[in-house]
Amino acid sequence: MPFDTPSSTALTSSALANAIRALAMDAVQKANSGHPGAPMGMAEMAQALWTRHLKHNPAAPHWADRDRFVLSNGHASMLIYALLHLTGYDLPMDQLQAFRQLHSLTPGHPEVDVTPGVETTTGPLGQGVTNAVGMALAEKLLAAEFNRDGHTIVDHHTYVFLGDGCMMEGISHEACALAGAWKLNKLVALYDDNGISIDGKVAPWFVDNTAQRFQAYGWNVIGPVDGHDVDAVDAAIAQAKQSADKPTLIVCKTAIGHGSPNRAGTAKAHGEPLGAEEIGLTRAALGWSAEPFTIPAEVKAGWDASAAGAAVQAAWDERFAAYETAFPELAAEFVRRMAGELPADFAEIAVDAVGDAHDKAETVASRKASQIALGHFTARLPELLGGSADLTGSNLTNTPSTPAFRVDEAGAVVKTEAGQIGRHINYGVREFGMAAIMNGVALHGGYIPYGGTFLTFSDYSRNAIRMASLMKKRVIHVFTHDSIGLGEDGPTHQSVEHAASLRLIPGLDVWRPADTTETAVAWTIALANKHRPSALLLSRQNLPYLPKTDADVITRGAYVLAEPSEVGLNKAPKAVIIATGSEVHLALRAQEELAKKKIPVRVVSMPSTTVFDRQDLDYKKAVLPPKLPRIAVEAGVTDFWWKYGCAAVVGLDRFGESAPAGELFKLFGFTAENVALTVRKVLAK
């Protein structure tokens, strides 16, 4: 059913748009901080979309088949806060008055799960539109997977507002090119083409032909249209919704700070309050006589989407009830997946994966161990949606259960002979785009995204990884070729500082497993972490299986792998060697070397420092006794390890070299002999 509030018959168009302008001016002025110009310039764009097209229910912000709205130019946050308040979301006026204040529901940039109705956290420009691509992808895949003839339960659009800054950020190129390749016809982007950024008019440094750029991506391009003409924007959106095989860009020509007599069209309107005098002049120019933070009753009624939202959701509920009757198992699966819950037998699946790794005790690269574990999980978790940034054969993120995602010439998702959709995505050489698209998929719901590249290229993805942590979303990054162990490609590809730097991101679980069992456990925890992203750092070179009696302790991030008794010394340890990943087997060999000299040491494998850091103090003391000196071993920068009170670190505080891996490990001191010597020097002190 069409979504239409009673605005067009109740009021003149300008009164509704001016409500947004007034709230934006007043909130920024009260906070003495913020960006009034963009909300003022996009007011009619927002009015056209939110009162005539956007399918949503303010009483149910998480309703599954709602349209998604993304404000990619998140500095314009007062636009979305005004819209949410005016249309009936649980965002009272006192929260708008508390704009940018501590613990308010109206932070400086929109944050998902803070403000009701906000779909994603935006602020870093370009990532919002990229999240929107992920949301549109998830919608397309879910529709192909769950809709049946006569029963359409997934059928919504993703709308995104973006500005010049988003267009200039390189990530928008990565994401929008993919949107065109994937024929995401239900993605509609409205470009606030006002020609102004913080430094002034963008013409000297932003001369792209944006329309031709998006046409080259395979998008429909509509406009330029007058962004201050509600009917023109309305007509453009209606046209965009008719697209069967292409996403659409609507170019809206606007004036930043529209309505302000002295600031409109200037950089002064961008990132600072208009000032009391200019606000007064603007109110007079707009004919807006209401007091600050006061919305006339007729304007509020014109915006209110409560009744229309309840009706459109009720119609969907009726359709879903019919679907549930016809396809009860599919309906239950859809509900489970949109709730982000794992299958009821997930514990059994995990036990099978970990048990298989333990029983086979294979000597393989941890990237291969990851693929083996994924084989178990992807076969039984249909929500796993994988991919790689042009490195599938190296990252090993594909399995027999994840055919390649493809669309046909008409834009339909290609299915296998068994009727399955593709679940492995070729992102191309677009690491940043992949990371932020995965965030969008996770935000939409229905899938658990994972994607692979080399660990050194996590630099390209880093800001999107940070955003996943900030948003507390389950996104899994598979980073292979994790150290100098990749060998001949040399220092450009050899990760040195990356493990340490990723561990600094709050809320990100980082795993560097040492063998197949640790890798399977890492996948288990990553999948179980509903509100936490994960990064798996995996080796190119083969790693020996490490005998162990208990796999459960791996879930605690670090555990005692070998006591002195396991190398023939029935003595209490005099030191602890802590190691991760490919260096754990070096620690065990060093333990053997030290045993020959009657020096007893404990070996601790620490596949996840971030998980270990969350353990209780008693467990930490049990693994790392306070009075025993600690020596860390990891083929990366040493600074990170001093936090554990280490007496020494066998690490690498320089870039690597181009040579076979074995030669490099010897060159940089990653040998059992050097680790043993380091322990002896510590004990000698």
Residues acting as catalytic residues: 431
CB count in 10 Å sphere of residue 555: 17
Peptide bond between residue 491 and the one before it cis (omega within 30 degrees of 0): no
What is the spatial distance between Cα 162 and Cα 635, in angstroms, rounded to a whole number? 42
Interior/surface letters 394-428, b for 16+ CB within 10 angstroms, e for the rest: bbbbbbebbbebebeeebebeeeeeeebbbbbbbe
C-alpha Rg value of the chain to the nearest Å: 28
Q: Is residue 109 classed as helix, strand or coil in its secondary structure?
A: coil
Backbone angles phi, psi at 383, to 5 degrees: -80, -10
What is the spatial distance between Cα 522 and Cα 606, in angstroms, rounded to a whole number? 12
Q: Check residue 228 and report its DSSP letter.
A: T
Q: What is the dihedral of CA 121, 124, 126, 128, to 10 degrees?
A: 0
Strands 364-365 and 542-543: antiparallel
CA atoms lying within 13 Å on the CB side of residue 548: 28
Q: Show the DSSP H helices in 496-648 as ranges.
A: 498-503, 516-528, 584-596, 609-612, 617-623
Backbone angles phi, psi at 444, to 5 degrees: -65, -45
Q: Which residues pair with 253 in a beta bridge?
A: 193, 226
Cβ neighbourhood burial of 366 (10 Å; 0-12, 13-18, 19+): buried
What is the spatial distance between Cα 51 and Cα 587, in angstroms, rounded to a whole number? 65
> How far out from the chain centre does Cα 414 lie?
26
Nearest by Cα to 186 from 245, 235, 229: 245
Sign of CA dihedral 373, 636, 124, 96: positive
- Cβ proximity of 82 and 19 under 8 Å: yes
Query: DSSP characters for 616-678?
Result: -HHHHHHHS-TTS-EEEE-SS-SGGGGGGT-SEEE---S---SS-HHHHHHHTT-SHHHHHHH
Strands 424-426 and 384-388: parallel
Backbone angles phi, psi at 163, to 5 degrees: -125, -170
Sign of CA dihedral 61, 67, 72, 73: negative
**Strand positions, DSSP E, 506-618:** 509-511, 534-537, 542-543, 559-562, 575-579, 601-605
Q: How many residues does the chain have?
A: 685
What is the spatial distance between Cα 547 and Cα 116, in angstroms, rounded to a whole number? 50
- Cβ proximity of 70 and 166 under 8 Å: no
What is the spatial distance between Cα 643 and Cα 281, in angstroms, rounded to a whole number? 58
What is the spatial distance between Cα 56 and Cα 308, in angstroms, rounded to a whole number? 8
Sign of CA dihedral 77, 83, 86, 89: negative
